[in-house]
Amino acid sequence: MPHSPLARENCDVRTVFVEPTFESWRLQARRLLQEGAVPAEVFFQTEGTEQNFFPGLFENVTTPASLDSSASTLPKLRVPADFIALAETVADHRDERKWDLLYRVLWRITHGEPHLLSMAIDSDMRELLTMEKGVRFDSHKMKAFVRFKKIEVQAGSGITDHYVAWHCPDHPIVRRVAPFFERRFRSMNWTILTPDHSVTWNGQELVYGPGVPISQAPKADDLEALWLTYYKSTFNPARIKLKTMTKEMPTRHWRTLPETRAIQDLLRESPERLLKMFQDQPRSASEFFPKLPEGEKATLEDLRKAAAGCRACGICEKATQTIFGEGPPDAQIVLVGEQPGDQEDLEGRPFIGPAGELLNRALRDAGLNRPGLYLTNAVKHFKWTPPSDPELTSRKRIHQRPSASEIAICKPWLSAELSLLRPKVLICLGVTAGQSVLGKTVKLGEERGRFHETAWTAHTFLTTHPSAILRMMDPDLKKAEYARFVSELKTATSVLQSPSPQISA
């Protein structure tokens, strides 16, 4: 059966190829709206990436560029100008889901929801605005962090100066930001290189080209030395705030900023307190991974032994020991909690305290056998504080929730575990586990009881932590919450018998 040049059909979903530009998407979106294609029937895909998803299935597909000649025959739609501006910005986001999201919002605006753009609480709009914010923030950082280096190039029969910079933005924003540099540096010839694209100003026009790795960027020059001299003369160590500085100047950009190489020396000249602040910045747990011969992969036991010596964050200083995961290496189900508790810290095993006892009971009621499961935590040390009342005779230490930075520092251990286990079902117990596994802020009220696709399995499920049930004071509410917890454990593991649960994007 012949296929439309616009799309190919696969499982009742039409795959629509677009070039990575707003104009290409807009042309296809107008065609789809004219045909009455609902968003659920359409899957947008950037041209050239199809082989990553469907090898060999889409040979000889007509590309969107060949359709441009007929663009003028399509009827124009009445769409709010604010949507066009929003879509043009979101089109520069790296997440390929942007095209489907934009079409879904466009469909809703043109099919009975004309005021959708003003509804910031709508889930589609919230995600769209988050993407827009990311692109705008990245554009601002590119304008602030590009540093040119002077090189000499052959021009006709002579030598002329050319200025080159390498930058690594989060999103492919070169075309968006290049006009800013054209206006700012019109009198000099320059080139900006990024992994995605490059752009050159030759004094007359902007010329775009392919991406370039940092290995091809120029080395230090006299201009860099001049900038370092200026930076040192204006640096005030008494006012330095490293947390604010790294927020505004993320460390991933430091390798291209000459001034960052001078910061440590400058801080050594400041009071000892400021020097210690710089030296005590958190590290990553990956620095403590086992050192193995080349080509040899670490086992769970290798990771467990290495984690015992982890000192990546400050939690380990007060904890008794590292509490690593426990369970068979071929477990189909993995449960991830927040961190060890008081009793776990003393005895060296996960989920053996009061919360662990409740979890054991819930697992039995859900028809699960704990010895066949793998249990671990997002953070491997117990973070605690002494009781606030010094008159208390109890020696039990008070649990403290780990910070976002501590969760991130410890995540390499969890990632390494899950990469080896590759479970069929991954159950996150509580907000901290969900944040670590999903890599984003989690609101349990919105995400609980739903499946998500992650790097380790398509069946990642969020539910509450058993300790939250223990803290409930009302007996009836506690009973109802426990029943819900058991029910969600059954739902999470039901995919082992019946596939195709509802996956959250």
pLDDT at position 111 is: 92
What class does CATH assign to 285-504? alpha beta
Give the tokens for residue 464: 């509450």
**How far separated are the first and last CA of the chain, in Å rounded?**
32
Dihedral sign of CA atoms 54, 60, 66, 71 in order = negative
- Burial of residue 36 (number of CB atoms within 10 Å: 0-12, 13-18, 19+): exposed
Q: What are phi and psi of 177, to 5 degrees?
A: -95, -20
Percent of the chain with pLDDT over 70: 75
The angle that helices 123-145 and 174-184 make with each other, rounded to 10 degrees, is: 40
Residue 479: which residues within 8 A CB-CB, separation 6 or more?
Answer: none
Q: Are 336 and 377 in contact (CB under 8 A)?
A: yes
How many whole angstroms separate alpha carbon 446 and alpha carbon 113? 23
pLDDT digits (tens, 9 = 90+) for 319-350: 999 999 999 999 999 999 999 999 999 999 99
Q: Are 235 and 246 in contact (CB under 8 A)?
A: no
The model carries a pTM of 0.47
pLDDT digits (tens, 9 = 90+) for 95-149: 999 999 999 999 999 999 999 999 989 999 999 999 999 999 999 989 988 888 8
Average pLDDT, the chain: 82
Rounded (to 5) percent helix, strand, coil in the chain: 45, 15, 40
- Using alpha carbons, list the distances in angstroms from residue 143 to 146, 184, 213: 6, 10, 20
> Pairing relation of β-strands 190-193 and 158-166?
parallel
How many whole angstroms separate alpha carbon 266 and alpha carbon 261? 10
Q: What's the one-letter identity of residue 127?
A: E
Residue of 255, 63, 249, 95 whose CA lies nearest to 172: 95
CATH 3.40.470.10 maps onto the chain at: 285-504
pLDDT digits (tens, 9 = 90+) for 249-298: 566 655 555 555 555 565 555 555 444 545 555 578 998 999 888 888 89
Go through the chain and tell me how many residues it has: 505
pLDDT at position 505 is: 42
